[in-house]
């Protein structure tokens, strides 16, 4: 059975460098046999959070929110590709994520961060770890951190130079970690109903 993985990306900038990392991850996970769906927060276009999905009467949530809720509920695992804005998380990705809660429960999440500089978005990755845990996900311990993004991946998401080679070496362990937790969570959900 192929792992169903949603890869989330949250930049709203017109010149989006992080899309390179998202493309790299989507391609890498598909090559490993996963069924991957790319979720672009900008394309989904949810409004600034007013009401969460669960706060709408059944069948009355906006169409984009309803469709995404179904995808989240049907996924085995999640990947969050995040840039770092002033030592923090991207507002677009955070806004999309906050529209849901119970839909995330009892599945693993992996974080891949990036930045234009040498810190590779790790401060945003650290912030996401606690946020995703609070939202009911099991965050894997492996992380991908890419920077400078423009020197690591070309416009097609292909690794370049020494930084790209380093990313290629790091990806298998990160993907293996996600696959292990994805299977563990799926087996446990089948064996025992979650407590809430």
As for how many domains the chain has, the answer is 1
Rounded distance, CA 47 to CA 76, Å? 26
pLDDT digits (tens, 9 = 90+) for 52-81: 999 999 999 999 999 999 999 999 999 999
Question: Are 151 and 167 within 8 A, CB to CB?
Answer: no
- State the pTM of this model: 0.96
What domain range is 79 assigned to? 4-191
Assign residue 32 the CATH number of its domain. Answer: 3.40.50.360
For the segment 96-135, what is each residue's pLDDT rounded down to a tens digit? 999 999 999 999 999 999 998 888 999 999 999 999 999 9
Distance CA(3)–CA(152), nearest Å, equals 27
At what angle are helices 161-191 and 19-31 packed, to 10 degrees? 60
Q: Domain for residue 196, yes or no? A: no
């Amino acid at each position: 059975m192929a792992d169903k993985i949603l890869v989330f990306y949250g930049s709203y900038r017109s010149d989006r460098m992080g899309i390179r990392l998202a493309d790299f991850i989507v391609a890498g996970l598909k090559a490993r046999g996963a069924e991957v769906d790319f979720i672009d927060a900008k394309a989904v276009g949810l409004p600034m959070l007013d009401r969460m999905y669960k706060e709408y009467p059944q069948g009355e949530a906006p169409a984009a929110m309803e469709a995404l809720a179904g995808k989240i509920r049907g996924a085995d695992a999640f990947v969050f590709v995040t840039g770092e804005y002033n030592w923090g998380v991207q507002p677009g990705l955070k806004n999309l994520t906050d529209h849901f809660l119970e839909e995330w429960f009892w599945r693993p999440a992996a974080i891949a961060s990036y930045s234009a500089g040498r810190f590779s978005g790790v401060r945003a990755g650290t912030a996401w770890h606690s946020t995703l845990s609070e939202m009911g996900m099991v965050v894997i311990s492996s992380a991908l951190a890419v920077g400078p993004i423009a020197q690591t991946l070309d416009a097609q998401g292909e690794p370049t130079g020494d930084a790209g080679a380093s990313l290629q070496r790091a990806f298998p362990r990160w993907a293996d970690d996600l696959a292990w937790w994805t299977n563990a969570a799926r087996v446990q959900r089948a064996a025992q109903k979650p407590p809430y």
